[in-house]
Amino acid sequence: MRKITTTPRILKPQAAKKWYQHLTIDLLIKVLNQTFLHPFIAWIIVLCLRAQVTPIDHPAWIIALGYAIFLTLWTAAGMLNRRIAYGLPREVEPSHEIIVITGGGSGLGQLIAQIYGMRGAGVAVLDVKEVSEVEGWDELSGVDYYQCDVSDRKALEMTAKRIENDLGKPTVLINCAAAGIHGVPLLSLTPEAMKKTIQTNLFAPFHVLQVFLPGMMETDNGGVVVNVSSVLGQLTAAGLSDYSASKAGLSAMHRSLEAELRASGHDDKIKTLLVETGQLSTPLFDGIQTPSQFFAPVVEPIQVAYDIVSAIDNGDNGLIRMPAFAKLVNWYAVLPASIQRLARYVSGIDSAVAKAYSGQIPVPDYSSSSESESEAEVLRTK
């Protein structure tokens, strides 16, 4: 274990985006939710009409009042739905939390570690890389780094004992570790590549939960389990069979855990949060271009980190999906097969990986397996 402290570092400026590259469907929806679709704004319009002494039988008054009442009831119904589904929120004091983050050596996991480190929480980062190989580690403060292959059960159990001795029993568990994308068709995948993806993306979260969750349930204030999955677990994509299968399994495992906690009566103490995102702007998706920057924008890790930390701070259960199209994947599943095929063709989801790895797809060799990738190359954060 190594304590990470802060030292100055010169940041390289990134190339500025053109104005239209910031215009996405997510931005438009966010603006609408804060203006025309917000009950407060709707009631302001009603008050303005009342100030003008608009007759109550005037169409403008009737429409404005009806619209304000509808938005208010819709918002109240959403709040009631969450309360019935997930119960009362967990009481949270960030400075008293002990956070364990797998795959926290880069990307999303590192951002979350940085946030909690600055807030004074106890943070344990688990990553397979040596601390000297972690880019940006000198920007973190108050974070304990533990080199550990989370897919190795014995190594994980030993690391868990060290964390409990150093920091205490964890109260927040965030599974961010993910295996690198191979970007090849199913018939070109080597057994080693498939094994590594499934071990890191699916088996590792099983091990992490079995090792840390019992101790979390013994704490006075319970805890939170966060699993970072992907919408590709439901949408799938050509060239990502192993990755999509592992993320589908992770989402299914999370929902089973949620059901088991509810059936055993522990759901009031242990909150669960499933995160299913689209393409993230991390090394995991280097070279892959989003089919549409407007409808399917690349999500910045800081956006996801902010939503995860906010949900944990609020003591919430639930599901985080972004960008906007990710919230519609359940509706996609009930569409007729012909409409689904058309949507896939128009979106280009099945050609994006092939374009990114054009000329790099290996010819399958069934007589012998290729050399497996090194651990440091495969285990990367989303």
d(CA 364, CA 19): 44
Predicted local confidence at residue 371, as pLDDT: 35
Lowest mean per-residue pLDDT among 126-130, 266-270, 363-367: 363-367
Could you tell me which of 207, 242, 246 has the C-alpha nearest to residue 228?
Answer: 246
pLDDT in tens, 22-51: 788 889 999 999 999 999 999 999 999 999
Lowest mean per-residue pLDDT among 2-11, 58-67, 73-82, 203-212: 2-11
Is residue 380 predicted with pLDDT exceeding 80?
Answer: no
pLDDT in tens, 52-74: 999 999 999 999 999 999 999 99
User: How many C-beta neighbours within 10 Å does residue 91 have?
Assistant: 8
d(CA 261, CA 87): 13
* Domain ranges (residues) in the chain: 33-86, 94-381
Is residue 369 predicted with pLDDT exceeding 50?
Answer: no
The DSSP string of 225-267 is EEEEEETHHHH--TT-HHHHHHHHHHHHHHHHHHHHHHHHT-T
Is residue 162 predicted with pLDDT exceeding 50?
Answer: yes
Predicted local confidence at residue 379, as pLDDT: 40
User: How many C-beta neighbours within 10 Å does residue 332 have?
Assistant: 15
When comparing pLDDT for 266 and 369, which is higher?
Answer: 266
Residues 178-203 have a mean pLDDT of 90
Mean pLDDT of the chain, nearest integer: 85
When comparing pLDDT for 211 and 141, which is higher?
Answer: 211
Predicted local confidence at residue 178, as pLDDT: 87
| Under 8 Å between Cβ of 113 and 102 | no
| Under 8 Å between Cβ of 292 and 346 | no
Return the CATH number of the domain spanning residue range 94-381.
Answer: 3.40.50.720
Predicted local confidence at residue 280, as pLDDT: 84
pLDDT in tens, 311-356: 999 988 899 999 988 998 889 889 999 999 998 888 888 888 887 7
Band (358; pLDDT cuts 50, 70, 90): low
Is residue 366 predicted with pLDDT exceeding 80?
Answer: no
